[in-house]
Amino acid sequence: MKLGERIHGGLHGESRDGGSLLRQPRLYALTTAISFGGRRRRIYDDLVHQSGTSLGDRVLDVGCGPGYLTGRAALAVGPRGRVEGIDPSPEAITDARRGAPANTSFQIAAAEQLPFPDETFDVVLSSLAFHHIPPENRPIALREMRRVLKTGGRLLIADFRPPRNALVRRLVGVLGGHAMQHNPVDQIPDLVTAAGLRVSGQGDQRHWLRYFTATHP
């Protein structure tokens, strides 16, 4: 096994359909906190803000991992709002439930089959999870996100933008795996449009985190 596979495989394991599931949520939380250089809270709060999440909203966090974004969104919706996190990794969900705010709940589920009725949420969020979904399933996942959004609801997807420098990109491959190294993040708007949503904006947080916003018309 190559070094990169060993490092990436230490954090993630392969799902049945070729995606990658978080296996070491504690270690992941630590490495992400470090890679955001002390600015994770500010950056995630800004993602929540850019999504238009507000007091009283019902929000879904897709691929929530250990639930950091879920927790930040929970603050933004206040005690009358509610945030649900889903992730197919049982380890991630167990970790996310530990000490989670009272207005959050978590379920083991994949983006391709969201366990919620149509038009449940005001906002759907997803950070650093989209590239973990197998490419052929991404359109299915986006259709699910649209299905569970209320009419007029909002979507924000933030994902890793691979660096242009070939050497740095190779290092990303070693640490984060193939899907991260070659993440076609700029295809997201076309996929979002094809799923029946209207892209409303985009931006960068740091040079490596790109986000897109959309509405359910």
Ligand X SMILES: C[S@@+](CC[C@H](N)C(=O)[O-])C[C@H]1O[C@@H](n2cnc3c(N)ncnc32)[C@H](O)[C@@H]1O
Q: Would you tell me which residues interact with ligand X (CB under 6 A)? A: 15, 19-22, 32, 62-65, 68-69, 87-89, 92, 110-112, 127-129, 132-133
Output the six-digit token pair for 170: 């190779």
* CB 90, min distance to ligand X, A: 9
Would you say 39 or 80 has its CB closer to ligand X?
39
> Which is nearest to 191 in space by CA: 148, 123, 131, 150?
131
* CB 203, min distance to ligand X, A: 16
* CB 202, min distance to ligand X, A: 18
Output the six-digit token pair for 107: 């379920």
Would you say 10 or 152 has its CB closer to ligand X?
10
Q: What is the dihedral of CA 126, 117, 15, 138, to 10 degrees?
A: -60
* CB 132, min distance to ligand X, A: 4
Would you say 88 or 173 has its CB closer to ligand X?
88
CA distances for 202 relative to 47, 62, 127, 153, 198, angstroms: 11, 19, 14, 17, 12
Task: Give the number of other CB atoms < 10 A from CB of residue 196.
Answer: 14
Residue, CB closest to ligand X: 65
Task: Give the number of other CB atoms < 10 A from CB of residue 13.
Answer: 13
Would you say 69 or 214 has its CB closer to ligand X?
69
